[in-house]
Amino acid sequence: MAQTVLDIFLVIIIAHYLIERLISNLNFRHLNDAMPASLNTIYSETDYKKSQRYRRINSSFKMITSTFLLLLILVMIGFDGFAFVNRFALEISTNPVLSALIFFAVIFSAKELITFPFAIYKTFAIDNEYGENVKSGGAFIFSMFKKWFADAVLGGGLITLAILLWTKTGKNFWLLAWAIVTVVSLIFYFLYTKVIFPKFTRHEPLDEGVEKQAILDFVHRVGIDVDDVHVIQGNAPASNAKVFISGRGSEKCIVIYNSLLNDMTVAESLALIAHELGHRSKGHAFWKGIVRFAKNGLMLFALSFVLSTPLIFEAFSVYEPRFHIGLMAFLIVYAPLSFLLGIVPKFMSRWHEYRADAYAASFGFSNDLASALKKQSAKRSTNLTPHPLYVFFYQSQPSLLTRLKKLDK
């Protein structure tokens, strides 16, 4: 029986590896495609070729590292490596928390050590050559140490918390953990995104003029009651709305990231603002939250299931169930699981983009939105010809060409 369980694990990780390689290969072949004719006025041919070359070399590199990591896991499983590290940890301490921390410290230090040459090659041979992320040797070492330190503190803290929760709750672990994760993210959302961020991030009034008046006229037209327009310098973090309302009463204003204004005509800026307000008026953030909530629940249920199935421990040649072995088994199938569970949120996110585009188009902004999207895409040198399967599994944004096609209708 334990052998069957092990076989299931092996099938899952190898299948995931093969599917990822297949999709990546399909995408790779498209990277040589010529730039679509409708876009070559916006993109610089040389810049685009360079960024596609960078993508190609990264894709090949990823193929090498992921194959190497798969082999590493297979060797660990084949030679009962996890059971060996488990015995080592238990010899030092039989305390559930301490032994788990030692176990993961050994596993992750070994992994970091073995993959360190890859990180060096990626930073100094690939990124430096393409002018991405140029780092000195000292800065590289410092950033690695910073990452290891953060991982140790955060990972160690989470593991400790999870073990304490698990020993108290047993089978109901996932329900309680789900509740905690949900409450913490809700608090973070309301406290940070709604209160701290708008209050403490510097935003300045946009200069008086045609642009400001046009923006105010438009937001009044869609029923947002503000008297001023403010601007934040820089790019919006992925988790933040690019347009939001800040303050109360007479201080109430609409805040816009300057990435929506810079290098855009007034009409293009309005089109981008309309797109963002489309997300807002259709409650997309709410649905994103619901899907994330469901995904968290499923993940925690899977973890709980692994932890309470002794056969899985036996599959890894450990006969006395230990939290860290269960967690390790879960981490091994974490990537395939999140690959599968990511399909729905990614699909929804792309659908939201189309809906927000349609919202902007309903105010007559189709052409301006199209040219604004082209400019943004050129600035970021996005891949113009991703394979449809790649978009389906990995991208939360639709490809530029499909977006433009839909806007055209």
- Residue 50 CA to residue 130 CA, distance in Å, equals 8
Determine the interface stretch with Zn ion among 81-89, 96-104, 314-322, 350-358 (rule: CB under 5 A): 350-358
> Length of the chain in residues, anyone?
409
Residue for token pair 């006229």: 217
Q: Measured from the CB atom, is 20 or 353 closer to Zn ion?
A: 353
Number of residues binding to Zn ion, judged by CB under 5 A: 2
**310 to 349: interface string for Zn ion, x by CB under 5 A:** ----------------------------------------
- Residue 302 CA to residue 294 CA, distance in Å, equals 12
Q: What is the DSSP letter of 128?
A: T
Indicate the pairing of strand 253-257 with strand 228-232: parallel
**Smallest gap from residue 346 Cβ to Zn ion (A):** 14
**Smallest gap from residue 345 Cβ to Zn ion (A):** 14
Q: Measured from the CB atom, is 268 or 353 closer to Zn ion?
A: 353
Q: Measured from the CB atom, is 278 or 386 closer to Zn ion?
A: 278
Residues in 205-234 that interact with Zn ion by CB under 5 A: none
Question: What SS3 class is residue 83?
Answer: helix
Q: Measured from the CB atom, is 274 or 318 closer to Zn ion?
A: 274
Q: Measured from the CB atom, is 353 or 368 closer to Zn ion?
A: 353
Determine the interface stretch with Zn ion among 170-178, 248-256, 294-302, 356-364 (rule: CB under 5 A): 356-364
Strand partners, 256: 231, 243
Determine the interface stretch with Zn ion among 93-101, 294-302, 338-346, 354-362 (rule: CB under 5 A): 354-362
Structure tokens given for 182? 């949900």
Q: Measured from the CB atom, is 148 or 351 closer to Zn ion?
A: 351
Determine the interface stretch with Zn ion among 112-120, 149-157, 256-264, 351-359 (rule: CB under 5 A): 351-359
Structure tokens given for 183? 């409450």
* Contact indicator for 149, 314 with CB cutoff of 8 Å: no
Indicate if the alpha-carbon torsion angle 311, 312, 314, 320 is positive or negative.
negative
**Smallest gap from residue 277 Cβ to Zn ion (A):** 10
- Residue 170 CA to residue 304 CA, distance in Å, equals 8
**Smallest gap from residue 397 Cβ to Zn ion (A):** 8
Residues 85, 88, 91: CA angle, nearest 5 degrees: 150
- Residue 111 CA to residue 314 CA, distance in Å, equals 23
Q: Please provide the DSSP assignment of 358-397 as one string.
A: HHHHTTT-HHHHHHHHHHHHHHHT--SS--HHHHHHH-SS
**Smallest gap from residue 382 Cβ to Zn ion (A):** 14
Q: Measured from the CB atom, is 111 or 375 closer to Zn ion?
A: 375
**Smallest gap from residue 276 Cβ to Zn ion (A):** 7
**Smallest gap from residue 279 Cβ to Zn ion (A):** 5
**Smallest gap from residue 155 Cβ to Zn ion (A):** 33
Residues near 161 by beta carbon (within 8 Å), at least 6 away in sequence: none
Determine the interface stretch with Zn ion among 37-45, 192-200, 328-336, 353-361 (rule: CB under 5 A): 353-361
Q: Measured from the CB atom, is 307 or 356 closer to Zn ion?
A: 356
Element (H, E) at 57: helix 45-78
- Contact residues: Zn ion, CB under 5 A: 353, 356
